[in-house]
């Protein structure tokens, strides 16, 4: 009997949204101390419960704003849920918002170590993977330049190379198979596929049902922060395609 890699139990995530526009920090502080700040509750996730077995590949589908990225951040530990619990077993590699942790004034080389540290890798480990990271992102000629001079594609390539320079037991993928140009997209998908082939547990967000069918065993659909369908990848993709068709009427 397989062991669970991820278990979510009644997970909900609430954000406070400011009801009025505040143009600067001074105005915010004044209103804060006067008790004049008004917020509305926004529940990005409501009562999410599911289990992902070790080696399972779960596709996560849903329209924009459904809560997919918030769900992945909660599972990755980037956010703490308002209620409920998340349990994970194994080394986790989150491919979320690639390059978001870079310091724009540091060079690409310096950011390899900085970004690696934010992902929990030791300096010694990153040093052992440095040449591999540099070769994969194909930025040898720019690695000493400040990252602020990189294009968004170059930053994403560097972030992808760092994030995949590990042998994870759980891989969280949020629409990163579209990183870079066509050549690099083929390279990045092949890299992720090689990780899949090693039997890692995968959470994969995509709007592409063909990708979900090809890469995943099972899937769920999120709608306004709730799970509205779950089952095999084929079953759930069929439901999602019908939702897309109905939304265009």
Domain-embedded: residue 196 = yes
What are the residue ranges of helices labelled H in the chain?
25-33, 68-76, 108-118, 123-137, 152-163, 182-197, 209-215, 233-247
Query: How far is it, in rounded angstroms, from Cα 224 to Cα 69?
Result: 12
1-16 burial string, b = 16+ CB within 10 Å, else e?
eeeebbebeebbbeee
Domain-embedded: residue 125 = yes
pLDDT of residue 136: 92
Pairing verdict, β 218-223 and 57-61: parallel
In the predicted model, residues of the chain with pLDDT beneath 70 are 1-2, 17-39, 97, 99-100, 175-181
pLDDT of residue 17: 66
pLDDT of residue 226: 96
Q: Is 97 left (phi over 0), alpha (psi -120 to 50) or beta?
A: left
pLDDT of residue 38: 62
**Do 8 and 67 fall into the same domain?**
yes
Output the pTM of the full model.
0.77
Angle 152-163/123-137 helices, nearest 10 degrees?
130
**Do 208 and 85 fall into the same domain?**
yes
What phi, psi does 53 have (nearest 5°)?
-75, 155
**Do 173 and 234 fall into the same domain?**
yes
Query: How far is it, in rounded angstroms, from Cα 18 to Cα 23?
Result: 12
Here the CATH number for the domain that contains residue 215 is 3.40.50.300
**Do 121 and 233 fall into the same domain?**
no
Contact 146, 176 (CB under 8 A): no
pLDDT of residue 67: 92
**Do 219 and 107 fall into the same domain?**
no
Domain-embedded: residue 129 = yes
Report the number of distinct structural domains present in the chain: 2
Domain-embedded: residue 120 = yes
pLDDT of residue 69: 87
pLDDT of residue 213: 92
pLDDT of residue 76: 87
pLDDT of residue 241: 95
pLDDT of residue 168: 82
From 133, 166, 199, the end of a domain falls on 166
**Do 49 and 157 fall into the same domain?**
no
Residue that has been written with the tokens 């547990």 in this structure = 201
Domain-embedded: residue 97 = no
CA angle 189, 182, 198 (to 5 degrees): 10
Residues in the chain: 249
**Do 71 and 184 fall into the same domain?**
yes
Domain-embedded: residue 98 = no
pLDDT tens string 100-148: 678 999 999 999 998 888 777 889 999 999 999 999 999 999 999 999 9
From 143, 166, 189, the end of a domain falls on 166
CA angle 233, 221, 171 (to 5 degrees): 65
Contact 194, 171 (CB under 8 A): no
Range of the domain at 187: 4-91+168-247
pLDDT of residue 84: 97
Contact 67, 44 (CB under 8 A): yes
pLDDT of residue 185: 77
Q: C-alpha distances in angstroms, 202 versus 53, 217, 222? A: 10, 10, 17
**Do 77 and 139 fall into the same domain?**
no
Q: Read off the tokens for 20.
A: 């009025």
CA angle 181, 187, 190 (to 5 degrees): 140
Domain-embedded: residue 243 = yes
**Do 195 and 179 fall into the same domain?**
yes
**Do 233 and 183 fall into the same domain?**
yes
**Do 85 and 15 fall into the same domain?**
yes
**Do 116 and 222 fall into the same domain?**
no
């Amino acid at each position: 009997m397989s062991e669970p890699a991820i278990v979510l139990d009644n997970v909900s995530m609430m954000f406070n949204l400011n009801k009025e526009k505040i143009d600067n920090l001074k105005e915010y502080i004044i209103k804060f101390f006067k008790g004049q700040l008004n917020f509305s509750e926004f529940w990005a996730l409501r009562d999410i419960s599911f289990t992902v077995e070790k080696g399972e590949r779960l596709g996560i589908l849903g329209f924009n704003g459904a809560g997919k990225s918030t769900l992945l951040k909660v599972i990755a530990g980037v956010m703490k849920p308002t209620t409920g619990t998340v349990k994970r077993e194994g080394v986790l590699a989150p491919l979320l918002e690639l390059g978001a942790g870079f310091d724009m004034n540091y060079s690409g080389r310096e950011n390899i170590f900085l970004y690696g540290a934010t992902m929990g890798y030791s300096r010694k480990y990153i040093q052992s993977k440095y040449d591999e990271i540099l070769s994969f992102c194909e930025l040898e000629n720019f690695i000493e330049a400040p990252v602020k001079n990189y294009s968004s594609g170059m930053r994403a390539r560097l972030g992808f190379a760092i994030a995949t320079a590990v042998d994870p037991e759980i891989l969280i993928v949020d629409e990163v198979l579209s990183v870079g140009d066509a050549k690099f997209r083929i390279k990045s998908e092949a890299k992720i596929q090689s990780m899949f082939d090693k039997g890692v547990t995968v959470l994969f967000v995509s709007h592409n049902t063909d990708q979900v069918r090809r890469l995943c065993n099972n899937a769920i659909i999120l709608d306004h922060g709730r799970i509205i369908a779950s089952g095999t990848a084929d079953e759930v993709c069929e439901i999602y395609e019908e939702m897309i068709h109905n939304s265009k009427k």
